[in-house]
Amino acid sequence: MIYENPNHRRVKGSRLLLITCGYCKKEIAHYQKVGKGNLLRMYVPRIVRSAVDLSKKPGALSCPKCKKQLATRVTLRRKGKDAYVMKRSAFNSAEL
């Protein structure tokens, strides 16, 4: 992991997930997941480390190795938070 997120905040009751590319199995990010259920979106303040520089505000999250698009960056209307909406079957997640 190259990039440490400066906006990272510890969330109570969360678990740490390793997000990898579904195509080439390259490690993409370490993410704090809150609650049960599938990973639908990754909130930027909960990303601990990533292989992609998130401060440049790219419009999409792509794998640095195979260049496949894994997620699209959006700003949520209700909450006003930045998040990546994940594409189904484009990534894998495992608990650390």
What is the dotted CATH code of the domain comprising 3-95? 2.170.150
Write down the domain spans for the chain.
3-95
Question: Helix (H, G, I), strand (E, B), or coil: what is residue 46?
Answer: helix
> pLDDT category, 84, cuts 50, 70, 90?
very high
CB 76, CB 83: distance < 8 Å:
yes
Q: What is the predicted pLDDT for the residue at 1? A: 56
Burial code (b: 16+ CB inside 10 Å, e: under 16) for 31-63 equals: bbbeeeeeeeebbbebbbbbbbebeeeeeebbb
pLDDT, tens digit, 9 for 90 and up, residues 9-38: 787 888 999 999 999 999 999 999 999 999
Q: What is the pTM of this model?
A: 0.85
